[in-house]
Amino acid sequence: MTSVAVAAEGLTKRFGDFVAVDGIDFTVAAGEIVGFLGPNGAGKSTTIRMLCGLLRPSAGRGLVAGIDVAADPEAVRQHIGYMSQKFSLYNDLTVIENLRFFGGIYQVPRASLPERLAFAISMAGLEGREERLVSTLAGGWKQRLALGCAILHRPPILFLDEPTSGVDPQSRRRFWDLIHSLAADGVAVLVSTHYMDEAEYCDRVALINRGKLIDMASPAEFKRTNLGGELFLVECRPLGAAIARLQDTPHLLDVAAFGNSLHVLVEDSAYDSESLTALLRQGGVEVSLAHTIAPSVEDVFVRMIGRTGGPH
Amino acid sequence: MRPLRLKAIAVKEALQILRDPISLVIALLMPFMQMILLGYGINLDVRNLPTCVFDREASQDSQALLKHFQASPYFRIVETPSTYRDVIRALDGGACRLAIVIPPDFSQRIADSGGSAVQALTDASDDNTANIAIGYAQAVVGAYAAEATAGAAARAGLSTGPLQPVAVQSRVWFNEDLESRNFIIPGVVALVMALVGAQLASLTVSREWERGTMELLVSTPVTPMELMLGKLAPYFLVGLLDAAFCLCFAVFWFKVPFRGDLLVLFLTTSLFLVVVLGIGYLISVAIRSQLGASQIGLLVTMLPTVLLSGMAFPIDQMPKAVQLVCTFVPARYYIAILKAVFLKGSGLLELWRPVAALLAYAAVIGFFAARAFKKRLE
């Protein structure tokens, strides 16, 4: 299997008594985008940091580009690009100075440097901003510059730790387009996020909770196998009374508020829109709309996190 | 060791120095301030000592003695009180540090014995200055007495010959050209080098931790050795520039004679810079906040360099135990070298002992500094 870019085998990290990552197994193939989903503190960053050689695994091993990270972290580092959760470029340097710095650190040959710099700048959409101090750039530009710095040496493997946190939706969209074009060129991408909608952009998602890998599948499969029921969208008011009415009702699995409507999960074929509406009206709730919807990853996520226990 | 990486780190670090106000102040303003403050501040010479004179005789002779005091560069007569109480008030209030009381029978005593009894009261809360002041006062009175006796003898038609009347020779602190500055300034240069070097280097790694840039840096293939050398290279240049500035300041502003070889000065200064930059770098690796690191950098360089390096206080007059401690202060070797190069014009051969000591220091600190930084986040 030469196409396996990253493999975690029983990867574990303990900080004292606290088990941050608990025996995780998974692989990422070349050209594949794998999304890490999970609540804060689930162990996403710790896993990525172990695979980058920043933290030493307590048990198990991580193979990156076929190299054991714990045994030879330096050899791994030539093959990877990393974007940390916290922005970690030099704010007191300009765009081009940051890029040149990482070009030097990764020993991009002098002859190909201008072309790589130009590529990174155009990819990040930073043309005309080369001489701007990074501290004066908005969040979306900074994230794209960080990605530009991370791919300057054309690494076959990218680790992106919550790259889009704090970035506006439009910039996030653009960022994902970039990730897709990199994956199309054969780059393996492991990306963590807490935006559930971003999970839909991944080839496979890995749900992590309390240091354990709960499930790993394509977004479609993930939704199909993990929801375990039918999902209804119900627009009604007051929401509080509706939730109170639906709780502890037989054959009803879960109720969650989404904005000013409800997502109601019921056992397959237990209810249809009419019976659900009737049930609510009995409780004095005014229902304006109730119909089945296709679940999002978020619906599945909320359901599964609820089932496996909340954040630490 | 990859040249591309070294260059990338050095360029980045240089840009950061240029854009960091704190680093700029340390690199450019501190040497100037230190030279001015310490060059003028640490002065063991006694000059223009505020003095009051209580002339109880008010005769021609006593006025002549007063003129001698006025002519001396060591004393500045600030008051001429007319009662003892005023004398004591002036001393107590700090208006003067020395009070000369000329007795009512001053002329008679000179004529009788050729000697004179003049009372000198000093404020010995600073015993060093008091001692020196008494010595100078005795010298002034002695010189006056000699002149007076010679004059009297001449009037009496006697040949004076080499006759010297009572002249007190206890001038332990007498300094022929009155320049303790010549000994102090080379020490100040060393202090500036130590402070600037350790302070700047103490910021370099802690800055990466503090600003969160370390995480990314650690994920790159850069080696600890490349990081250290690349980071310290610009500070080394800054240190040499500061050294050149201090040297010019010492020679052209404070007029300290420079009798040695510039090449010797350059080589030994480079060696000392390696030592202090290494110390600062070690601190910077250990302490992850810039403020904490620079405070410790200040502590470990300032105190030993001022107190235990022979800059102002001679090491051979310290207790044996303290002398032993001084052996471990790198600045003492550099100061010994600087004083010898400035004032004696010594070459490398004569200076082999302190140069060897600095070499050993540079090797040991370089060894630990190169291994101090671990590329892990834990």
pLDDT at residue A71, rounded to an integer: 92
pLDDT greater than 90 at residue B204 = yes
Chain B CB contacts of A107 under 8 Å are 2, 4-5
Q: pLDDT of B270-296, one tens digit each?
A: 999 999 999 999 999 999 899 999 999
Q: pLDDT of A140-150, one tens digit each?
A: 889 899 999 99
CA–CA min distance A96, chain B (Å)? 11
The strand pairing partners of A83, in sequence order, are: A160
Q: In what order do the strands lie in the sheet with A67-68?
A: A18-29, A4-15, A59-64, A67-68
Residue to mutate among B213, B226, B227, B229, with most A CBs inside 10 A, is: B213
Q: Do A90 and B378 touch (CB under 8 A)?
A: no
CA–CA min distance A170, chain B (Å)? 26
Q: Do B8 and A88 touch (CB under 8 A)?
A: no
Task: Please provide the distance, in angstroms rounded to a whole number, between the alpha carbons at the two ends of chain B.
Answer: 25
Report chain B's mean pLDDT, rounded to a whole number. 85
Chain A CB contacts of B19 under 8 Å are 92-93
Helix axes B127-155, B60-71, angle to 10 degrees: 130
pLDDT greater than 70 at residue B114 = no
pLDDT at residue A312, rounded to an integer: 54
CA nearest neighbour of B119 among B87, B92, B151? B87
Q: Could you tell me if B269 lies within 8 Å of chain A, comparing CB atoms?
A: no
Chain B CB contacts of A97 under 8 Å are 11-12, 15
Among the partner residues A55, A77, A101, nearest to B221 by beta-carbon distance: A77
Q: Do B8 and A105 touch (CB under 8 A)?
A: yes
Distance CA A165, CA A194 (A): 8
Average pLDDT over residues B21-47: 84
Share of chain A above pLDDT 90, in %: 52
Average pLDDT over residues B91-104: 87
DSSP B317: G
Q: Do B2 and A102 touch (CB under 8 A)?
A: no
Cβ-based neighbour number of residue A191 at 10 Å: 25
Residue A64 pLDDT grade (very low, low, confident, very high; cuts 50, 70, 90) = very high
Domain ranges in chain B are 3-42+179-372, 49-155
- The residue with tokens 């007190």 is B168
CA–CA min distance A143, chain B (Å)? 13
**Alpha helix ranges (H) inside B25-114:** 30-41, 60-71, 84-93, 106-113
CA–CA min distance A33, chain B (Å)? 21
pLDDT greater than 60 at residue B127 = yes
pLDDT greater than 70 at residue B116 = no
Average pLDDT over residues B225-233: 94
Q: Could you tell me if B218 lies within 8 Å of chain A, comparing CB atoms?
A: yes
Distance CA B370, CA B378 (A): 19
Average pLDDT over residues A117-136: 92
Of A203-212, A221-230, B147-156, B166-175, which one has max mean pLDDT? A203-212
Token couple for B320? 């044996």
CB of B194 within 8 A of CB of B273? no
Chain A CB contacts of B222 under 8 Å are 105
Distance CA B209, CA B377 (A): 10
Which helix (H) or strand (E) segment is B171 a member of? none
CA angle, residues A196, A197, A201, in degrees to nearest 5: 110
Architecture label for domain A4-223: 3-Layer(aba) Sandwich (3.40)
pLDDT greater than 80 at residue B255 = yes
ipTM above 0.90 for this complex: no
Residue to mutate among A78, A92, A158, with most B CBs inside 10 A, is: A92
Distance CA A121, CA A127 (A): 6
Q: pLDDT of B307-317, one tens digit each?
A: 888 887 788 88
User: Residues with Cβ < 8 Å from A221, sequence gap 6 or more?
Assistant: none
User: What string of DSSP letters covers chain A?
Assistant: -TTEEEEEEEEEEEETTEEEEEEEEEEEETT-EEEEE--TTSSHHHHHHHHTTSS--SEEEEEETTEETTT-HHHHHTTEEEE-SS--S-TTSBHHHHHHHHHHHTT--TTTHHHHHHHHHHHTT-TT-TTSBGGGS-HHHHHHHHHHHHTTT--SEEEEESTTTT--HHHHHHHHHHHHHHHHTT-EEEEEES-HHHHTTSSEEEEEETTEEEEEE-HHHHHHHHH-SEEEEEEEE-HHHHHHHHTT-TTEEEEEEETTEEEEEE-TTS--HHHHHHHHHHTT-EEEEEEE-PPPHHHHHHHHHHHH----
CA–CA min distance A52, chain B (Å)? 6
Q: Could you tell me if B225 lies within 8 Å of chain A, comparing CB atoms?
A: no
CA gyration radius for chain A? 23
Architecture label for domain B49-155: 3-Layer(aba) Sandwich (3.40)
Distance CA A306, CA A213 (A): 15
**Main-chain dihedrals φ then ψ at residue B294, nearest 5 degrees:** -70, -30
CA–CA min distance B36, chain A (Å)? 32
Average pLDDT over residues A256-282: 85
Q: pLDDT of A5-33, one tens digit each?
A: 999 999 999 999 999 999 999 999 999 99
CA gyration radius for chain B? 28
Q: Could you tell me if B22 lies within 8 Å of chain A, comparing CB atoms?
A: no
Residue A1 pLDDT grade (very low, low, confident, very high; cuts 50, 70, 90) = very low
Domain ranges in chain A are 4-223, 226-308
Average pLDDT over residues B20-43: 86
Chain A CB contacts of B212 under 8 Å are 84, 86-88
pLDDT at residue B197, rounded to an integer: 92
Which residue of chain A is at minimal alpha-carbon distance from B18?
A: A92
Among the partner residues B4, B19, B215, nearest to A104 by beta-carbon distance: B4
Which residue of chain A is at minimal alpha-carbon distance from B374?
A: A54
Q: Measuring CA to CA, how many Å separate B16 from each of A169, B198, B285?
A: 33, 17, 18
CA nearest neighbour of B313 among B168, B123, B183, B139? B183
Query: Which fold, A226-308?
Result: Alpha-Beta Plaits (3.30.70)
